[in-house]
Amino acid sequence: MAAPAAALSPRRRLACSRARATACGACPSRAPPRRAGRPSLVTTWSDGENGGWFRQTAEEAGFFGHFFAPFVERVRAGQTSIHPVLLSDYLQLHPPDTDARVNTGAWNVATTSGQDFSQWAGSEAQRGAIEELFNLSRRYWRLARSGVASSARADLDGARHLLLEGETSCYLFWGDAWVPRLYERTRRAGELLDRVDRTQAEKR
């Protein structure tokens, strides 16, 4: 690989569609011209626990044992020109000066193209759950940005955690089967946000 280059920590991944990588340089035939003095940004990403690369029972056969740990040892020993960097740090040092268009799409969605996200929003039950999640998210951000009393912070943080869990793909991916699990989280998040509202009202 041409040096100098930068590698992104696996916990800060930048997703890219392999078929539509028009601006990130992932596809050699579509790579934009490299700017003088700007190091390349190389990212790693995966399905995480869904992929065999991460689910190996033998540590030395998986991503961290077979690839990442040896890579870090080479970095520490000064044996590679590739250096780990947080995406936020890279962007602060090298602000983007071009726009990229990312088309909608998904993979591993049976016979659909993935472009309309029907795997996640194809039924009334799925769309209803998504709307509930959006409504609660708007409530959360309204409260978070308004500044809440310290006594309400734990409830607000708890609601945030539940909403982030609710945004997990699995609750909608499996048709209507897992939608009740999503509603379990939105119900509890709603109850916590109600408590925050009451606490805020009492402080006025």
Distance of alpha carbon 75 from alpha carbon 69, whole angstroms: 10
Look at residue 104 and tell me if it is in a domain: no
Residue 142 and residue 70 share a domain:
no
39 conformational bin, left if phi > 0, alpha if psi -120 to 50, beta if neither? beta
Look at residue 42 and tell me if it is in a domain: yes
Q: Return the pLDDT at 175.
A: 87
Distance of alpha carbon 24 from alpha carbon 17, whole angstroms: 10
- Residues 10-66 have pLDDT tens digits of 333 333 333 333 333 333 444 455 566 778 888 877 665 556 677 676 777 778 888
**Which residue range(s) make up the domain with 188?**
118-203
Question: Of 62 and 177, which is predicted with more confidence?
Answer: 177
- Residues 125-171 have pLDDT tens digits of 999 999 999 999 999 999 999 988 899 999 999 999 999 999 988 89
Rounded alpha-carbon distances, angstroms, from residue 130 to 101, 112, 125, 127, 178: 25, 20, 9, 5, 13
CA nearest neighbour of 156 among 168, 144, 174 = 144
Give the lowest-confidence range in 2-11, 48-57, 165-174, 185-194: 2-11
Residue 134 and residue 88 share a domain:
no
Question: Of 50 and 96, which is predicted with more confidence?
Answer: 96
Tokens 């579509």 appear where?
A: 30
Distance of alpha carbon 204 from alpha carbon 201, whole angstroms: 5
Q: Return the pLDDT at 164.
A: 95
Distance of alpha carbon 173 from alpha carbon 160, whole angstroms: 21
- Residues 100-121 have pLDDT tens digits of 888 887 776 777 677 888 888 8
Report the domain count for the chain: 2
- Check pLDDT > 90 for residue 189: yes
Amino acid at 90: Y
Residue 174 and residue 135 share a domain:
yes
Rounded alpha-carbon distances, angstroms, from residue 35 to 5, 29, 85: 13, 17, 19
